[in-house]
């Protein structure tokens, strides 16, 4: 088996911003001991973006190669809602923005783009699923390189993606289904009602039956502050939530997920909101060693 197949694919959501840009994001991931990384191309709450020429793409790709990082994941902003049929005037803008965001991801040679499918805002899941598929059919082309990875959602409000069946229904309507995969978020799955903590193999088997493991692109590895089925979507640090470290560590090292990047999106820690630091170096070390030491996160927070 090759080194590429056996490398532990673990990463975290890092910053890609001035002055470091893409190389700075790589340096942050390396500092955590990561082998993969994820970032947004701008603030996820808005659509303001810098030109690709200002992102230092060649230097970033070179830095990834030098450090042995792979599977660059670029998260789509969650402000885009293709499922909102009640505001048709915003649909065209959302489609055009996502076309441009995918073009930027392709310029960075990204592997996958996790994407929150959207919300039906009262019109019902069927209407939203049809419109999401319609939007994706206008966004994706035969030339698209990055895999758009529909994300499993917690079921908060009127979110689409609270079940594997909803994601499968979107994929079934696509003109280019080969350009679309899925992101499994462990917190979202737990909050949607799937028994992530106790029967993950059964969850994976169900995913394979409904969607197919070949469609899995990314795992967002997060604990949950709320119990299974709560539909809340509040991430917790590894071991500090209802899923627990042992279950998450088993997922990180699951034999069927060795070629899937696992990305941490766990909360920053600190004594107050103005003095927060990322936990990723500590948590990645726990996953590498299997040695869960919560006191290390407490020390980091203080």
220 appears as a binding residue in the annotation: yes
DSSP 269: E
Q: Do the annotations mark residue 202 as ligand-binding?
A: no
Q: Which residue has the tokens 């792979």?
A: 70
CA distance 297 to 258: 26
Answer whether 254's CB lies under 8 Å from 4's CB: no
Beta-carbon-side half-sphere exposure of residue 256 (alpha carbons within 13 Å)? 14
**Are the beta carbons of 151 and 161 closer than 8 angstroms?**
yes
**Is 199 known to sit in a ligand binding site?**
no
Please tell me whether 188 is known to bind a ligand.
yes
Question: Is the Cβ–Cβ distance between 152 and 189 less than 8 Å?
Answer: yes
* Residue 116 among known ligand-binding residues: yes
Q: Return the structure tokens found at 253.
A: 């090292």
Consult the annotation and say whether 185 binds a ligand.
yes
The structure tokens listed for 274 are: 């103005």
Distance CA 141, CA 144 (A): 5
Residue stretches of the annotated binding site: 75, 116, 151, 185, 188, 220, 233, 235, 265
Residue stretches of the annotated binding site for Zn(2+): 75, 116, 151, 185, 188, 220, 233, 235, 265
């Amino acid at each position: 088996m090759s080194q590429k197949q056996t490398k532990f694919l673990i990463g975290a959501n890092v910053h890609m911003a001035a002055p470091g840009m893409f190389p700075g994001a790589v340096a942050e991931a390396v500092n955590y001991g990561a082998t993969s990384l994820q970032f947004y191309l701008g603030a996820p709450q808005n659509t303001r973006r810098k030109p690709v020429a200002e992102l230092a793409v060649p230097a970033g790709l070179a830095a990834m190669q030098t450090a042995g990082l792979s599977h660059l994941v670029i998260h789509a902003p969650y402000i885009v809602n293709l499922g909102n049929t009640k505001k048709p005037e915003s649909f065209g803008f959302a489609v055009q923005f996502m076309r441009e965001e995918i073009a930027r991801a392709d310029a960075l040679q990204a592997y996958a783009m996790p994407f929150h499918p959207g919300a039906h805002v009262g019109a019902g899941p069927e209407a939203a699923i049809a419109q999401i598929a319609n939007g994706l059919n206008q966004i994706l082309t035969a030339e698209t390189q990055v895999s758009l990875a529909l994300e499993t959602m917690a079921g908060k409000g009127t979110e689409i993606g609270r079940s594997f069946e909803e994601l499968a229904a979107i994929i079934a309507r696509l003109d280019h289904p080969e350009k679309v995969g899925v992101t499994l978020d462990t917190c979202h799955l737990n909050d949607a009602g799937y028994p992530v903590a106790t029967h993950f193999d059964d969850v994976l088997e169900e995913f394979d039956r409904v969607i197919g493991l070949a469609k899995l692109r990314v795992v967002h590895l997060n604990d949950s502050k709320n119990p299974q089925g709560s539909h809340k979507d509040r991430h917790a640090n590894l071991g500090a939530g209802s899923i627990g470290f042992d279950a998450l560590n088993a997922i990180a090292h699951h034999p069927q997920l060795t070629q899937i990047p696992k990305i941490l999106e766990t909360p920053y820690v600190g004594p107050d909101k103005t003095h927060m630091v990322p936990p990723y170096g500590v948590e990645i070390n726990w996953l590498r060693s299997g040695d869960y030491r919560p006191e290390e996160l407490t020390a980091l927070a203080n």
